[in-house]
Amino acid sequence: MNRKRRLPLFWTAIFVCAAAYALIIHGVPYVAREVVGPAEFELPVPAALRLMYLLLIVVGALVYVSYSERNWNEFLWPLSSLLAGRYGIVPKILVMLLFPLLLGWGVIVSGRGGVASPSALWIQHPSSNFPRQYESWHNPLREPSEEILEAFTSEAKDGMYDAIPTAPMQAFLDTIKSGKTANEAVSRAALQEKYLYEGRILYQTNCRPCHGTKADGNGPMAEGFRPRRPINFTDVGTIDTLVEGYAFWRVKTGGLGLPTEASPWDSAMPVWGRQLGEHVQDLSDEQINKILLAEYATARKDPRIPE
């Protein structure tokens, strides 16, 4: 009646389900760790996804074992053999005793209600209320005008930037201080160094307490903000997958500017564009632009190019 299999279908099905599930639970974090590189946190598969995968696997297995009458009978064979007493009277009695007790216990546990923290909403890149004008926004400091460049050059001639030791700045200063005119590429590179210098000071003063000196989300104030810990900018999938305008919008409108599906009520991100007076913002737009330059540089990332 049944084909001779090396393994009964019942156990094959269970083994395949368990192995596939184990592969997802453990294999995915392992591969993710290889891709992401060293970090202090684990990368577990989220609980909702685990449930989804488990359901998919079980439904798939069920479809397979039930697609023919023969398969179905073969699948049920060990179970029905047990109930018919073919493996002995003791296993049969054990299973028939445990099954209803398990059902009763399951009812009590589920009815008692879990005493568990409720889950929180989170979306990687909430954008349902992302203003369109920021999609193609370019940081003006990355392409400063001629006037700004000229003003910078005359300031540099007066020695204002002598303390910046990086190569692009020093090359520029050497050129202009010996009376020559620096070419545009050299001047712009030096101006970027100036912006980076100022931006780093602003970032380290204002953002470091939460986002950390190394832009890794490990600032001294990070511990108290749960479950929405300050973002780790070195993580793949944060600022490197976003256009710079998105980051500008996030900094300016803060946690309260998030859409509902991103749990704004749990977010500690300050509204840095908050008006404090007629002409005063917590951080001005120019300061935010400098901070973005420094933030990307500190995290060693580049923003995504707008379409």
Could you give the angle at the alpha carbon of 179 between the alpha carbons of 177 and 182, nearest 5°? 80
Output the smallest distance, CB 303 to another protein, in A: 16
Output the smallest distance, CB 172 to another protein, in A: 16
172 contacts 152 by C-beta, under 8 angstroms: no
Segment near another protein (CB under 8 A); pick from 125-133, 144-152, 239-247, 294-302: 294-302
Tell the burial category of 239 from Cβ atoms under 10 Å away from its Cβ (0-12, 13-18, 19+). buried
Binding-site member from 47, 84, 89, 90 for another protein (CB under 8 A): 84
Dist CA 165 CA 290 (whole Å): 19
Binding-site member from 210, 242, 243, 292 for another protein (CB under 8 A): 210
Instruction: Check binding of 209 to another protein (CB under 8 A).
Output: yes
- 163-192 residues in contact with another protein (CB under 8 A) are 163-166
- 8-27 residues in contact with another protein (CB under 8 A) are 8, 11, 14-15, 18-19, 22, 25-27
- Compute how many residues bind another protein; rule: CB under 8 A: 101
Instruction: Check binding of 101 to another protein (CB under 8 A).
Output: yes
- 219-278 residues in contact with another protein (CB under 8 A) are 220-228, 234, 255-256, 260, 263-271, 274, 276
Binding-site member from 116, 132, 179, 305 for another protein (CB under 8 A): 116
223 contacts 287 by C-beta, under 8 angstroms: no
- Whichever of 27 and 306 has its CB closer to another protein, that residue is 27
Instruction: Check binding of 218 to another protein (CB under 8 A).
Output: yes
Which residue is listed with tokens 């000229």? 150
User: Which candidate, 39, 72, 23, places its Cα nearest to that of 216?
Assistant: 39
- Whichever of 228 and 250 has its CB closer to another protein, that residue is 228
72 contacts 65 by C-beta, under 8 angstroms: yes
65 contacts 71 by C-beta, under 8 angstroms: yes
- Whichever of 144 and 270 has its CB closer to another protein, that residue is 270
Dist CA 190 CA 185 (whole Å): 9
- Whichever of 67 and 99 has its CB closer to another protein, that residue is 99
Instruction: Check binding of 115 to another protein (CB under 8 A).
Output: yes
Output the smallest distance, CB 108 to another protein, in A: 5
Structure tokens of 219?
Answer: 């600032």
Instruction: Check binding of 124 to another protein (CB under 8 A).
Output: no
Dist CA 285 CA 18 (whole Å): 54
- 29-58 residues in contact with another protein (CB under 8 A) are 29-30, 33, 37-44
Structure tokens of 241?
Answer: 């997958």
Cβ-proximal residues to 128 (8 Å cutoff; 6+ apart), any chain: 259, 261
Q: Cβ atoms within 10 A of the Cβ of 185, count?
A: 9
Instruction: Check binding of 120 to another protein (CB under 8 A).
Output: yes
